Structure 1
Amino acid sequence: MAHLFTPKKVGAYALSHRVVLAPMTRLRTIQPGDIPSPMMADFYGQRASAGGLEIVEGVSISIAARSYLGAASFYHDGQVEGWKAIANAVHARGGRVFMQLIHGGRQSHVEMTGGVAPVAPSVVPFEGVALTKDGFVPVSPHRALGIEEIPGVIEEFRVAAQRALDAGFDGVELHGANGYLVDQFIQDGTNKRTDAYGGPIENRVRFLREAVEALISVWGADRVGVRISPSGEWGAISDANPEATFSYVARVLDEYKIAYLHVIEPRIKGDDTLHEGHAPVAAKYLREHFSGPIIVAGGFDGESAEAIIESGDADLVAFGRHFSSNPDLPFRLQHKLPLTPYVRAAFWGGDEKHYTDFPAYQPAQQPETTV
């Protein structure tokens, strides 16, 4: 672990190691109102480490941006104290914490959007699901955003970024991955527009550019990250030439000198492994297009994390599933200690069970001897 546990400057911050907590939609807010719960503060506090980075699960920027009942959001004042408690819990352990901001776009249901149709760059029917009080249900039919509506959505990203700043976070990450609204604009399988936001890749990344610029206007570029998922399959997303598309995206983001580029490898779809043993490919081709720090995520263990950092294709590795059940994951990886298995049934909602009740590593007690 000679490379995984070396310091790294990421944007404005000097980190002491390269094990990152990946954003995971865990559906633990208090309802109604999407209030961040005390157990969320416990969860993030438990997983914080001195000089480590955590990225908080996708935080919806408005009611219309929501996709899953119980998921995080930050659009009203009643949520402020809960988010402050989470930031304080991480800082108390010496960690840094970024808030990931998301708009679900077409991946939603009218029960989650306040009764209005979900929005997307274009109407391209698909068989997705949202989470409501009735469980996972088929998404509602969506409509195309009018060009005059787009500035309002960008402003919602800016306001949410300001809220994150006011709540004491260290930065924000734009969720441009997994088939949500930003990704829907980028990829040509979901963007069929013929105006300034559609057609050639230069136009399809316009929404991404404007969202990034809104976040930078609040935070400065060195406290803003972006997550992408080249060739990802979540949300029935697709592009005719993902390598060309996301190489261009990486070059665009490099111009802004953002804190980091966060890349989900295509061997993962949501919380499932699609391609067991598949070598990481996305970060490898993106490396030549992005000069800043690259965080990779998707199916890594300690050995493969060490290997990709040693190769130079990535600078940090984000863990989700293993971090869910090992609050002291950096310590365990550094010392090559056994990992507690994760509990998939607790990923999508629940209480403290299999969420905040995983213990840190306890060495086996040696039996006492008598003389």
Structure 2
Amino acid sequence: MNHSKLFERVTLGTHVLKNRIVLPPLTRQRSSPDGDAATDLMATYYSQRASAGLIVSEGTQIEPRGQGYAWTPGIYSDAQISGWRKVTQAVHAAGGVMFAQLWHVGRVSHTALQPHGGSPVAPSAIRAEKVKAFIATGPETGTLIEPSDPRALSPTEIEELVRMYAQAARNALSAGFDGVEIHAANGYLINQFISAHANHRDDQYGGSLTNRLRFLREVVHAVMEVVGPGRLGVRFTPLFTGTDQDRVYIGLVEEDPHGTYLEAIRILEAEGVAYLSIAEADWDNAPELPDSFRRDVRSAFSGRIVYAGCYTAERGTRLIDAGLADLIAFGRPFIANPDLPERLANGWPLNPLDGAALYGGGARGFTDYPMYVESRQDHTTEATA
């Protein structure tokens, strides 16, 4: 099958992306343990993958309460901004374009990760289920743990959080990012406000769908005022009925996901958001999104559309050919293959994924995956020695 459309140039705001392949946000837990700042190792990791048309950073928490996992990076301190600046400089030197994903986990956290051991914050005091936080138990050891009971945010605190998102966007630009992506997916804070399962508020931020979307609307508007057109993306996980009910926490399946997320997407369209990223269920035998939903998404949104979730070159090309997607994100394959676009373009075999080294640690399973050409040269040298 011809995958040529994957390798076409495409515009995103003022940028001309070299191809339609995206490195999506992938939690790797390699930030500095003494300040949650991006490291030199992370700069190497991202620059190795700069052949992607677009790189989106792993989720980077906008404030200390936004952390749900040990060793994930932030973007609220001077040290964190400086750390990310090293990353963006390395990516730009390698010819890449990189956006920062702005993240707040909300209730998916534990008191051990919260400032002064406080309760995680959420739209409502409803404990997260079927999901784990991750806390450090030693310098390089940690454990998964049930999230703590959250407390409900006050309206004043919600307004403060909107301002924190805007400040995080300013910090991202200061760090050299080309734009930002708002994380409104995977059962985290903005997703919690959207969901009728997690949001039982009776004020202007809860009840009706319009009210449950208010926080999203305010955050998108505030961040857009900072970054401007062409520099903002938003990520959703609109899971549908039929999804494995043991996994629904990932996207908080709504009674009417089609209507819920189309209304959310209309907010992005009204604000002039540059791209919409849709993360699909990514476990084995997961159901695909309905074609009717994909078509309605395309009709409702005039910006670029990115799909992610167990995509192959063939599957992604079909979606682009159908006019339903503009870019395709590859997660695990890009972890194991820093030169993934070249491998897909040439039909070269892929490195296997080291699943035991996905989260935390050092270079193993992070920056030590070989490039295809380099590995072939090493093999030839050994054969002729």
Q: Which runs of 4+ in 1 moved over 4 A?
A: 366-369
Q: Please give the per-residue CA displacement for 1:170-192, whole angstroms capped at 9, x wherever unaligned.
A: 00000000000000011111111
Q: Indicate the residue corresponding to 2:285 in structure 1.
A: 275
With over 3 angstroms needed to count, the CA separation of the structure-2 counterparts of 1:332 and 1:150, relative to structure 1, is same
Q: Indicate the residue corresponding to 2:23 in structure 1.
A: 21
Q: Which structure carries more helix by proportion?
A: 2
Q: Indicate the residue corresponding to 1:190 in structure 2.
A: 198
Q: 1:274: how far off?
A: 4.3
Q: 1:279: how far off?
A: 3.8
Match of 1:43 among 37, 42, 45: 45
With over 3 angstroms needed to count, the CA separation of the structure-2 counterparts of 1:366 and 1:312, relative to structure 1, is farther
With over 3 angstroms needed to count, the CA separation of the structure-2 counterparts of 1:143 and 1:46, relative to structure 1, is same
Indicate whether 1:247 and 2:248 are aligned.
no
Q: Indicate the residue corresponding to 1:353 in structure 2.
A: 364
Q: Indicate the residue corresponding to 1:213 in structure 2.
A: 221
Q: Indicate the residue corresponding to 2:354 in structure 1.
A: 343
Contact 2:238 2:253 (8 Å CA) reproduced = no
Q: Distance in 1 between matches of 2:107 and 2:251?
A: 11
Q: Indicate the residue corresponding to 1:162 in structure 2.
A: 170
Q: 1:12: how far off?
A: 2.5
Unaligned runs of 5+ in 1: none
Q: Give aligned pairs, total.
A: 362
Q: Distance in 1 between matches of 2:326 and 2:113?
A: 37
When normalised by structure 1's length, the TM-score is 0.93
Match of 1:140 among 145, 148, 152: 148
Q: Please give the per-residue CA displacement for 1:284-307, whole angstroms capped at 9, x wherever unaligned.
A: 442222121100001101111111
Q: 1:151: how far off?
A: 0.9
Q: Distance in 2 between matches of 1:15 and 1:191?
A: 38
Unaligned runs of 5+ in 2: 138-142, 241-247
- What SS does the aligned partner of 2:173 have? helix
When normalised by structure 2's length, the TM-score is 0.90
- What SS does the aligned partner of 2:277 have? strand
Q: 1:98: how far off?
A: 0.1
Q: 1:252: how far off?
A: 1.3
Q: Distance in 2 between matches of 1:275 and 1:316?
A: 23
Match of 1:129 among 129, 132, 152: 132
Q: Indicate the residue corresponding to 2:275 in structure 1.
A: 260
Q: Indicate the residue corresponding to 2:140 in structure 1.
A: none
Q: 1:15: how far off?
A: 0.9
Match of 1:152 among 160, 181, 188: 160
Q: Distance in 2 between matches of 1:240 and 1:88?
A: 44
Q: Distance in 2 between matches of 1:66 and 1:227?
A: 18
Q: Distance in 2 between matches of 1:279 and 1:147?
A: 37
Contact 1:283 1:296 (8 Å CA) reproduced = no
Q: Distance in 1 between matches of 2:204 and 2:351?
A: 49
- What SS does the aligned partner of 1:14 have? strand
Q: Distance in 1 between matches of 2:59 and 2:381?
A: 43
Measured on the aligned residues, the alpha-carbon RMSD in Å equals 1.8
Structure 1, 63-72 or 124-133: larger mean CA deviation: 124-133
Q: 1:125: how far off?
A: 2.7
Q: Please give the per-residue CA displacement for 1:45-101, whole angstroms capped at 9, x wherever unaligned.
A: 00002x721000000011111111001111111222211110011101111000000
Structure 1, 254-263 or 357-366: larger mean CA deviation: 357-366
Counterparts of 1:42-81 in structure 2, within 5 Å, are 42-49=44-51, 52-81=53-82
Contact 2:266 2:300 (8 Å CA) reproduced = yes
Letter paired with 1:36: A
With over 3 angstroms needed to count, the CA separation of the structure-2 counterparts of 1:29 and 1:5, relative to structure 1, is same
Q: Indicate the residue corresponding to 2:327 in structure 1.
A: 316
Structure 1, 231-240 or 36-45: larger mean CA deviation: 231-240
Letter paired with 2:123: P
Q: 1:366: how far off?
A: 9.2
Q: Indicate the residue corresponding to 1:306 in structure 2.
A: 317
Q: 1:123: how far off?
A: 2.1
Letter paired with 2:104: H
